[in-house]
Structure 1
């Protein structure tokens, strides 16, 4: 019987110690508030030397500094709340991009079910005898489109999905190349084509990331979305 009482007492004492530790931990984690500051200020005034009282300017400066520190802390909390809200809004807006098409630099052209494929050739300077070559997956040339002379800049093109004989080709991915004469020499030109947006990621440091079969790219690096 005595052993049971001893065990119960020990358990009760351990419980009290645990509660004391919890209270002590919670008290230590509490930050100083404005009430604590004024309590300290009151204590400071009560123990000051009557023959050498505290300077009013110093007291006002202390109060001002504490108010500024509290204001900055509240401002940081508000900014964190605003950042969380902006991230949520960005995620919602980014979700609407899924299923659309992004204009990305690529050497492949996607022919859709409507039999239309579009893209852009990028010319740093005027180009002559510009030619667009379209090949199937085996590398066989299926269509050549003559774009003639073009000014420098983004040169838009559209393929109707037909081969050189005017026959409709099946939808899918085709290889595309652009060649032209610049400054008297023939050269290849970079091409950007529209790729389906499969998913999006919202990254705090990188912003909105667009995922296509070509890979991942930042939304800010995309020139156009259709």
Structure 2
């Protein structure tokens, strides 16, 4: 007993109808310039000969269509530009991982090479500027005298040694800055270099860098090293 495959005309016609329906769905519903001129031709053919269309109105219609088409093309170009900029931002952001960002912090990271750097932010000229470096238990391990400094960012570097000249293990240390301004001693804000662990592309907020201190926008970073 053989199996029969139906090849009736009605069945084939139904398949062709489905193909036509699928093809019609793929076409854009947007009006093109050819559609506009076709409509314009129809409008001219059906106009009243005793009351022909005003030239100014015809020009206004053509101008409106041209402007609408131009705006549509401009939007498409902007979308392509935005996508390209996002890709470029992601590529640039990936190169930041593993580098260091200068962020305001009260801790100082001593690396394996025995080096730690940062800046003291002085809004006014300061005298007798001193740095106090403490271990995780709060014990003072090193004092660095920076003397008198002008207003601005005062760079400093620590070689990782204590007062006795002994090299301390790598890790995180607490740091404080104190100085005299107009005869009054006060604490000053400090920015230190933190390792960039990862980055995010966050739309309107741009590039977000992540360190163990938390997340911060790239535009808020003073320096990348």
Would you call these one fold, judging by a TM-score over 0.5? yes
CA apart distance, 1:71: 0.9
Matched, 1:82 2:81: yes
Does 1:94 pair with 2:70?
no
Alignment TM-score, normalising by the size of structure 1: 0.88
- Give, in whole Å, the separation in 1 of the partners of 2:55 and 2:221: 61
The runs of 4+ residues in structure 1 deviating greater than 2 Å are: 14-27
How many angstroms does 1:198 deviate by?
A: 0.4
What's the counterpart of residue 40 of structure 1? 39
**Counterpart in the other structure of 2:54:** 55
Q: CA deviation at 1:15?
A: 8.6
CA distance in 2, matches of 1:147, 1:57: 79
1:72 and 2:71 matched: yes
Deviation at 1:32, TM superposition (A): 1.9
1:30 Cα offset (Å)? 1.1
CA distance in 2, matches of 1:166, 1:134: 14
Paired residues for 1:13-162 under 5 Å: 30-162=29-161
Q: CA deviation at 1:91?
A: 0.3
Q: CA deviation at 1:64?
A: 1.3
d(CA) in 1 for partners of 2:32, 2:94: 43
Distance 2:18 2:202 in 1: 42
Aligned-residue CA RMSD in angstroms? 2.3
Q: TM-score, normalised by structure 2?
A: 0.89
Q: How big is the shift at 1:126?
A: 0.8
SS at match of 2:132: strand
Q: How far apart are residue 35 of structure 1 and its match?
A: 2.1
Distance in 2 between the 1:169 and 1:97 partners?
Answer: 28
Partner SS for 1:155: strand
Q: Which runs of 5+ in 1 are unaligned?
A: 1-10
Q: Write the distance in 1 (CA, Å) between the matches of 2:117 and 2:16.
A: 76
Looking at structure 2, the residues matched to 117 and 102 of structure 1 have their Cα atoms a distance apart, in angstroms, of 13
The Cα of 1:21 is off from its aligned counterpart by: 7.7
* Structure 2 segments unaligned to the other structure (5+ residues): 1-10
CA distance in 1, matches of 2:182, 2:39: 80
In structure 1, the residue corresponding to 2:204 is in which secondary structure? Answer: coil
Query: Which residue in 2 is equivalent to 1:8?
Result: none
